[in-house]
Structure 1
Amino acid sequence: MSDETWHNAALALKLLEIDPVGLGGAVVRMAASPARDALLAEFQPGPPLRKLPVNISDEQLFGGIDLSATLASSEVIENIGFFDKPYMAVIPMAERCPVALAAKLATLANQGLTQGFLAIDEGIEADERTPDVLAERLAFHISPQGRAPTVPAGTAPTGERVNRDDALTQLTLIAARFGISSLRAPTLAHRAAQAHASLMGRDHLTESDIAAAATLVFPHRATRVPEAEQAAQDDTPPPPPEVDETEGQGRDQDLSLPDTDMLIAAVKSLLPEGLLTGLVPAGTSRQAGGAGAGQKRKSNRRGRPLPSRPGRFDGTTRIDLIATLRTAAPWQPLRRQQTPDRPGLLFRPSDIRLKRYQEQSDRLLIFCVDASGSAAVSRLGEAKGAIELLLGEAYASRDQVALISFRGDAAEVLLPPTRSLVQTKRRLSALPGGGGTPLAAGLQSALVLALQSRTRGMTPTVILITDGRANIALDGSANRAQAGEDATRIAHALRASDISGLVIDMSNRPQPALAELSQTLAAPYVPLPRADAHRLTGAVHAALDG
């Protein structure tokens, strides 16, 4: 599968070299690496490549008056626009491209003023991606998995010849099966099929061209997985359609459509990971709720650029020079009349515009696991499997995982915040079980760890996995009533500290006490009797991302 994604990536770039304008371009979603450099080094389109920064101004993009040069020379000096010359735009850090800029680029593309785009997307989280308004106009989404293969891909069989109208019909039907409502997708796929035929040295389309185009253009646009065709409920076979003997006399009788089921299976095999668990139609953005992602914080030094704001320069902030000049420019004639003897530009404190950025903190999942009682062995096995599954995804989502175990009369931090899969497996393998249920002690340890992680810039979420039978108080005494009161008091402290949480009830029957505790925590309550690691992981994702 990984080899196939690399072969498809190289093929997409080859097709883009042939028809950069008709295909629109490609989104290359890869982190900076030698593999990405090697992949893009072989890309040689017809138009020369030129970087288009995501902070480009309207004057640089469309052309217009050069404000600084005009004010300095007292003559109107104009800039040429970015696309006044036939360049193919390379957009580095396309995941940071403002939606307003993406809309302007899409408008230029619709007007036929561009030569294609190569959007280099280094986003990690799901919401860090090239804006949909631009990505929809680019035929390909290149995101190869694993290591680059050393053996070149073999040549696919040619198949039978397909005429243009039948190819468009076939591609449109396949797009509809995958929930792709935009007609731009089959149109781009048809251009890709034509480019593939040209790459193979043919002047007509064949089944292999249609298959290659469908697997390159449709998977990342799919919004649903097509189900198998249902058998007709009526046992009586439908009558054969009437055929007009005169129809198709002027058409080549040897032309045929490729196998729809085979094409759908090929596209389905390349659907992006996670499509089955949370489908989001193209053109919409899924907002992470509550604890679904790290908190966004305003910053004046690093992060995603935000619109500048008025303010006073105090040495700790950065001035947005372009925005400041743009604010001061309309007032220059009036100020020049008031102070004709002062040379240069005339600024006022109200003209100053300061740069702003927004950075997103890492999310920390604190698993607080009940390791007491006779059911500890199965419960701990489920927790171990769930933590390993979640940690496998932490490398892509920047999440960190911590593990707290409570049993006997105390709680213990078995695993401090980490992304290390090796260290986690080592600690999990030695996770003990048995004894009483000091629920309050577990919540208290989770509260301390959450507050400590917050001071290091992380966003903590406490995931409590227990059967709810608290019987050990904070002082270590076996007092069930006091243990319940202590747990409620710590839950109030967690809520007052604005720490999000999730309560998973692993008992055979839902426990009302745990439902009340989840209300105190203002956290979702998920009863999961007899849950395995996959169900537990799915419940965590549903609660945190829902």
Structure 2
Amino acid sequence: MSDGAAIWTDAMITAALAAIDPVAAPVLLRAGAGPVREQWLELLRELMPDTTAVRKLPPSISDDRLLGGLDLAATLQAGRPVLQRGLLAEADGGVLIAVMAERMAPSTTAHLCVALDTGAVRIERDGMSLHAPARFGVIALDEGLGDERVAPALADRLACHLDLGTVARADLGESLFKPSDIAAAHALLPQVRLSDQAIGALTTTACALGIDSLRAPLLACRVARLAAALDGETDVAEPHIACAARLVLAPRATRLPATEDDTENNESPEPQNDPAESEDDNRGDDGPLEDRVLEAAQAAIPADLLKRLQDERTMRARSPSAGRQGTAQKAPKRGRPIGSRRGEWRAGARLNVLETLRAAAPWQPLRRRTQPAGKSGRLIVHKDDIRITRFKQRSGTTTIFVVDASGSSALQRLAEVKGAVELLLAECYIRRDEVALIAFRGNSAELLLPPTRSLTRAKRSLAGLPGGGGTPLSAAIFAATELALAVKAKGQAPTIVLMTDGRANVARDGGGRSEAEAEALVAAKQLALTGIPVVLVDSSPRPQDKAAQLASAMQARYVALPHADATRLSQAVMAQAGRG
């Protein structure tokens, strides 16, 4: 059996387990849109009972639609507060399919996690209280590319993790189960027993794979019971435990289990047991249950696990941006009004009463004809009439200048670099943007000027900048990244202007040129993952390949200072910040 066919077999088993009890076996499905994913979803729908409602959860859903709240149109029509149930409450007893779950808003993820933990939805707002049961299953569809992943908090609460990226259409086989099998397993599930030995085997396997979440072995125990019920058994046996380890624990592994070669030298001598007892204990198996379950889980671990883990340690996940950097952004209720739009009235939005009445007015004669007697004089407002005021506000920009003051730069063009920075500072002052200044030389980078609007302070710090020493380029990039992330956390839009010749020769641990260049490239790639705009100004007398390579690694706009005047530098900075 090919690897793709084996993965598809596990996918069919996962669909059957989720159909038996979606609440106990929620699924994280990593696959792009295509026939393979659609085939799995269709299989899931066929196995589920007809009474199970399946709803879609879009990533951009509003909190009012998700949790529930005041129904404005119904309230205006009835003349009294009318509550509406949210999607989580409506999904009680059914299944939610989270489309593009990797792009789900953090607030939506938080509300969904709370509902999965408590099985209920509770809101207190608009002067009303709403509490409704919300026990449902979740099928999270992860369509992310590269490092895009579903939020760890949500992924931790989903039992089975499937990756169908390597499954081809030729690997798709006929279904292994029928709806009658699911119905029989659902009826048998309350009678299935899980022994302490099985719980210990799954817990030991989770520890050996480096899984630090307590939910993982708990979810594995639930999946093992479902697997036993699917086989028509009332006792959880070894194949069911191995199935749970393969579907739940293996995808969560953070390390490979230690081998005998790694542990045989650390084991202390143990007294020999009675041969008869040993023969009785191991009769009919190849060792302890924990070892066999661990082997089953280890066989399902991706071969490139260690490389993937190393990449995850050295690179941060891409942080989502709220909008274009330093540009006019849409705002819910602050800024300059720019008209109205049709939408739902919810927290954070401002109702445009005049436009709402204007939209409802032409329909009043027609609507009054359908109204009961005695209500003809009341204004009838429908949901489609509601208009929300739109606003636009400009986000502030902080330009972080990172200046190379090392010996190589000082001997060549530090004076010209200072002049270019002063011209850019003047442009930032005209735009009322904040500026910050980081200088690097010797073996470290120093923040000379925190973000400020004072042009005088910026020029004074720049004028007193000495030159000489090594080029700790990686330290400068890390310092600029840290400052830019702090600025971004305060709601500002940071832009980094790095002025250097790109010739790093001092690593953060004191290493030489080769280590410094490699470390600078790593720092540049990490900066690129943040999505922060960067302009790299090559301060060499002649453009250098190393500076261009560094700009490419950090996905920066590359500008050669010998061919750039103040106007071009200013245009490059503004264009990279989203102003151009």
TM-score, with normalisation over the residues of structure 2? 0.49
Inter-CA distance 208–99: structure 2 relative to 1 (3 Å threshold): same
Inter-CA distance 499–308: structure 2 relative to 1 (3 Å threshold): farther
Letter in 1 for 2:151: P
Match of 2:137 in 1: 116
Match of 2:551 in 1: 499
The number of aligned residues is 341
Letter in 2 for 1:103: A
Question: Partner of 1:12: helix, strand, or coil?
Answer: helix
More helix by share: 2
Whether 2:69 is the aligned partner of 1:69: answer no
Inter-CA distance 141–320: structure 2 relative to 1 (3 Å threshold): farther
2:84 to 66, 79, 93: 79
Match of 2:243 in 1: 212
2:270 to 221, 238, 241: 238
1:99 and 1:236 map into 2 onto residues whose CA distance is 49
Match of 1:15 in 2: 17
Shift of 1:216: 0.3
Question: Partner of 1:90: helix, strand, or coil?
Answer: strand
Inter-CA distance 212–344: structure 2 relative to 1 (3 Å threshold): closer
Aligned 1:284-295 pairs, distance under 5 A: 287=316
2:108 to 97, 101, 109: 101
Match of 2:298 in 1: 268
Match of 1:432 in 2: none
Alpha-carbon contact 2:193-2:234 (below 8 Å) kept: no
Inter-CA distance 152–307: structure 2 relative to 1 (3 Å threshold): farther
Whether 2:349 is the aligned partner of 1:327: answer yes
Match of 1:339 in 2: none
Inter-CA distance 197–499: structure 2 relative to 1 (3 Å threshold): same
2:163 to 116, 121, 143: 143
Inter-CA distance 88–154: structure 2 relative to 1 (3 Å threshold): closer
Letter in 2 for 1:298: G
Shift of 1:210: 0.7
Inter-CA distance 231–122: structure 2 relative to 1 (3 Å threshold): closer
Letter in 2 for 1:8: D
Alpha-carbon contact 1:324-1:352 (below 8 Å) kept: no
Shift of 1:22: 1.9
Match of 2:257 in 1: 226
User: Identity across aligned pairs (percent)?
Assistant: 29
Unaligned runs of 5+ in 1: 156-160, 246-252, 333-341, 357-462, 469-484, 503-519, 521-546
2:545 and 2:338 map into 1 onto residues whose CA distance is 40
Question: Partner of 2:220: helix, strand, or coil?
Answer: helix
2:267 and 2:68 map into 1 onto residues whose CA distance is 68
1:142 and 1:68 map into 2 onto residues whose CA distance is 42
Shift of 1:37: 0.9
Cα deviation, 1:119-159, whole Å, max 9, x if unaligned, reads 11111121x2221111111101121223142556999xxxx
Match of 1:132 in 2: 152
2:323 to 288, 298, 305: 298
Letter in 2 for 1:27: L
Match of 2:4 in 1: 2
Inter-CA distance 22–286: structure 2 relative to 1 (3 Å threshold): farther
Inter-CA distance 255–494: structure 2 relative to 1 (3 Å threshold): closer
Alpha-carbon contact 2:255-2:305 (below 8 Å) kept: yes
1:118 and 1:307 map into 2 onto residues whose CA distance is 32
1:209 and 1:74 map into 2 onto residues whose CA distance is 58
Aligned 1:63-462 pairs, distance under 5 A: 63-71=68-76, 73-82=78-87, 83-84=89-90, 85-112=92-119, 113-126=134-147, 128-144=148-164, 145-148=166-169, 149-151=171-173, 164-229=195-260, 230-233=262-265, 237-240=269-272, 259-272=289-302, 274-279=304-309, 287=316, 298-299=323-324, 310-312=334-336, 321-322=343-344, 326-328=348-350, 351-353=389-391
Question: Partner of 2:232: helix, strand, or coil?
Answer: coil
Match of 2:542 in 1: 489
Letter in 2 for 1:489: R
Shift of 1:326: 4.5
Alpha-carbon contact 2:109-2:151 (below 8 Å) kept: yes
Shift of 1:30: 0.9
2:242 and 2:550 map into 1 onto residues whose CA distance is 52
Question: Partner of 1:187: helix, strand, or coil?
Answer: helix
Cα deviation, 1:271-299, whole Å, max 9, x if unaligned, reads 246421242899x99525xxxx7996935
Letter in 2 for 1:196: A
Letter in 1 for 2:293: L
Match of 1:450 in 2: none
Letter in 2 for 1:42: L
Aligned 1:23-38 pairs, distance under 5 A: 23=25, 25-38=26-39
Alpha-carbon contact 1:320-1:354 (below 8 Å) kept: no
Inter-CA distance 201–176: structure 2 relative to 1 (3 Å threshold): same
Alpha-carbon contact 1:20-1:116 (below 8 Å) kept: yes
Question: Partner of 2:55: helix, strand, or coil?
Answer: strand
Alpha-carbon contact 2:32-2:143 (below 8 Å) kept: yes
Letter in 2 for 1:35: V
Alpha-carbon contact 2:27-2:161 (below 8 Å) kept: yes
Question: Partner of 2:12: helix, strand, or coil?
Answer: helix
Alpha-carbon contact 1:102-1:134 (below 8 Å) kept: yes
Shift of 1:262: 3.6
Match of 2:53 in 1: 48
1:204 and 1:39 map into 2 onto residues whose CA distance is 29
Letter in 1 for 2:316: Q
Question: Partner of 1:215: helix, strand, or coil?
Answer: helix
Shift of 1:307: 7.6
2:117 and 2:310 map into 1 onto residues whose CA distance is 25
Question: Partner of 1:227: helix, strand, or coil?
Answer: coil
1:326 and 1:297 map into 2 onto residues whose CA distance is 16
Alpha-carbon contact 2:351-2:389 (below 8 Å) kept: no
Alpha-carbon contact 1:319-1:353 (below 8 Å) kept: no
Shift of 1:116: 0.9
Inter-CA distance 344–21: structure 2 relative to 1 (3 Å threshold): closer
2:85 and 2:203 map into 1 onto residues whose CA distance is 40
1:50 and 1:355 map into 2 onto residues whose CA distance is 36
Cα deviation, 1:363-413, whole Å, max 9, x if unaligned, reads xxxxxxxxxxxxxxxxxxxxxxxxxxxxxxxxxxxxxxxxxxxxxxxxxxx
2:194 and 2:286 map into 1 onto residues whose CA distance is 8
Cα deviation, 1:329-375, whole Å, max 9, x if unaligned, reads 5999xxxxxxxxx9989xxx99534699xxxxxxxxxxxxxxxxxxx
Match of 1:434 in 2: none
Alpha-carbon contact 1:167-1:257 (below 8 Å) kept: no
Shift of 1:185: 0.7
Alpha-carbon contact 2:99-2:141 (below 8 Å) kept: yes
Shift of 1:73: 4.7
2:158 and 2:351 map into 1 onto residues whose CA distance is 38
Inter-CA distance 266–234: structure 2 relative to 1 (3 Å threshold): closer
Cα deviation, 1:462-518, whole Å, max 9, x if unaligned, reads x99xx99xxxxxxxxxxxxxxxx99862129956x982449xxxxxxxxxxxxxxxx
